[in-house]
Chain A
């Protein structure tokens, strides 16, 4: 039945295009094969677990709605843990054995970067779910990404500081990969936004007390605000220590702690803290006319009705899949060069991470508006306009 539909469509077109469509119609019953490699187990399972669940859920959804171009989507997935070698093997298998049409995956920057050379060599469209800016800068022909970069989070925080006249700040960052990426990007960006970082200290991700670092930073003259950039419980401990030391300067945290568990861990000390976060986190609190509101609310409802609290990471695979589906439709099939071009021309796609406008020079397509500044008041988020 599907084949007949596309054959009918094909006959309506003329010339070369008609021949191409007719040719693809012959195999139209074949599913479109989406390859995926995620960190579902291991240390990064908090990324891969919601990503896989979302991917499966939305592929079922697309198929229930009749598939794409009359073809169903089929997921071929390999769990690679934190292991870059496994990631490379998985992608090799996806390309040579499973013959997938495109690849979505790479929960972490490490597993993503490990497969980039392979993807470039084999010329297959690849949408990464990881965050670091190195994935798309410099631009790689076949590689795209959907997640925010750390640099954008720094920008959001610095612009908010600037607005409040807090130009001189102290930075406390984690020594883990996330904290160090934030530190590098923020220090790099600070000058151009007119922010001076007067104090710069770090903490170990498993440290239980950051009082010494904060005491040291407190003694730096001229500091008007504090910025803690880290992931996990470390920033929450630092936040508590900050209040315990009686420090009252405005305090910022990063998107690394943009989840309810941070408020739980930091308790009362979180009051008044500002941080950047994706729209998904505050879906209900967005203004009614916010273009992202329907998208993030729909995803949040769908995910939470099935699995429990939503995370931005699952949102990334939602965005990646729908960008791919949109591009397959525009490309009229899964011819790899055409699909790649179609992904690159994605413009105005509204995802959970923001509004995506890709180009040949920008394989992510998100701008600063993707991050919302939040303030924690009475144990809940308030969106700062």
Chain B
């Protein structure tokens, strides 16, 4: 019983960490311009697929990963510059629809330029499971959890202690005031899209050795990341992190202790309940009204 519980918990935390990374990507763009970027899952896919493609060209894994992250960031920047920027004064709904269109575009592009097959990536540090109190953990899981922790720390330092980070928060708080203070709002938008693309791609690279990657992998991960963000709330960066981890653990426990057929249902019921009784998410205290 104890070992089982530990196994469910560790599995849940690994999966939850990837949800958290994707959710953080949603949070960054939402913070900067109040839009939910539904192409977030596609950044995840781009990270994994581009790594697989560069590996296929015979590059060593670290180089392939770096190039893939660069590809995703460029895709994020192009999305902002070519699709979001020109309609920046449009309504939020318009922008959301643009991001949905972009996600379909990215999927189609990868499907044509690369292929429609599944690609496994090699695990970063072997496939020998580590036993923790009788429960098996893959070294890759430690990479996922570790990288998520590092990203969270990095984001916190950026937003709390760097001028650029403060500029993003200022622009989010009040666009006009930020502009009057000399903050280049266009740069803030560009920065946030680049960062969220980077986060998504990191998640994609980390999870590919566990689940393999293919051109549609971003749909489900994007949805789960969105759920994580909604569950935790988008008020602070801790929201998606807590939301992701809770979602992952709930899913694992649901599959383990209840019927696995209802695994996703359990997760969605919890999200519904949270949204009904705590509309701002688990960490959504605060009264500031926001446009979503």
Known: A233-B211, A237-B211. A201 touches B260 (CB 8 A): yes
Cα distance, A175 to B8, chains bound together (Å): 20
Taking the closest CB of chain B, its distance from the CB of A245, in whole angstroms, is 5
Residue from the list B129, B210, B217, B219 in contact with A209, Cβ < 8 A: B210
Answer yes or no: A264 CB below 8 A from chain B CBs.
yes
Answer yes or no: B283 CB below 8 A from chain A CBs.
no
Residue from the list A175, A216, A246, A265 in contact with B256, Cβ < 8 A: A216
Question: Which residues in B have their C-beta under 8 angstroms from that of A45?
Answer: 116
Flag if A208 contacts B252 (CB, 8 Å). no
User: Closest A-chain residue to B216, C-beta based?
Assistant: A206
Answer yes or no: B160 CB below 8 A from chain A CBs.
no
Answer yes or no: A213 CB below 8 A from chain B CBs.
yes
Question: Which residues in B have their C-beta under 8 angstroms from that of A206?
Answer: 217, 219-220
Taking the closest CB of chain A, its distance from the CB of B111, in whole angstroms, is 10
Contact string against A for B residues 191-220, beta-carbon threshold 8 Å, 1 for contact and 0 otherwise: 000000000000000010011101001011
Cα distance, A206 to B18, chains bound together (Å): 14
Answer yes or no: B263 CB below 8 A from chain A CBs.
yes
A-side binding surface: helix, strand, loop or mixed? helix
Question: Which residues in A have their C-beta under 8 angstroms from that of B210?
Answer: 208-209, 237, 240
Cα distance, A264 to B138, chains bound together (Å): 19
Known: A203-B260, A209-B11, A209-B252. A244 touches B4 (CB 8 A): no
User: Closest A-chain residue to B118, C-beta based?
Assistant: A233
Cα distance, A219 to B256, chains bound together (Å): 11
Contact string against B for A residues 244-266, beta-carbon threshold 8 Å, 1 for contact and 0 otherwise: 11100000000000000100110
B-side binding surface: helix, strand, loop or mixed? helix
Flag if A46 contacts B14 (CB, 8 Å). no
Within 8 A of B (CB), among A129-169: none
Flag if A261 contacts B118 (CB, 8 Å). yes
Count class of interface residues, chain A: 20 to 34
Flag if B120 contacts A211 (CB, 8 Å). no
Residue from the list A207, A265, A268 in contact with B118, Cβ < 8 A: A265
User: Closest A-chain residue to B212, C-beta based?
Assistant: A233
Residue from the list B117, B257, B263 in contact with A204, Cβ < 8 A: B263
Question: Which residues in A have their C-beta under 8 angstroms from that of B252?
Answer: 209, 211-212
Taking the closest CB of chain A, its distance from the CB of B12, in whole angstroms, is 8
Answer yes or no: A267 CB below 8 A from chain B CBs.
yes
Answer yes or no: A202 CB below 8 A from chain B CBs.
yes
Residue from the list A213, A246, A261, A267 in contact with B255, Cβ < 8 A: A213
Taking the closest CB of chain A, its distance from the CB of B65, in whole angstroms, is 19
Answer yes or no: B85 CB below 8 A from chain A CBs.
no
Question: Which residues in B have their C-beta under 8 angstroms from that of A240?
Answer: 127, 210
Flag if A208 contacts B4 (CB, 8 Å). no
Taking the closest CB of chain A, its distance from the CB of B117, in whole angstroms, is 6
Flag if A244 contacts B11 (CB, 8 Å). no
Answer yes or no: B67 CB below 8 A from chain A CBs.
no
B: residues with CB less than 8 A from A are 4, 7-8, 11-12, 14-15, 18, 116-118, 120, 127, 129, 136, 138, 207, 210-212, 214, 217, 219-221, 252-253, 255-257, 259-261, 263-264
A: residues with CB less than 8 A from B are 45-46, 175, 201-204, 206-209, 211-213, 215-216, 219, 232-233, 236-237, 240, 244-246, 261, 264-265, 267-269
13 pairs, CB–CB < 8 Å, chain A vs chain B: A208-B207, A208-B211, A209-B252, A211-B8, A211-B252, A212-B12, A212-B263, A216-B4, A216-B260, A237-B212, A244-B138, A265-B118, A265-B120
What 6 A-B pairs have minimum CB-CB distances, sorted nearest first?
A208-B211, A212-B256, A206-B220, A212-B255, A211-B11, A201-B260
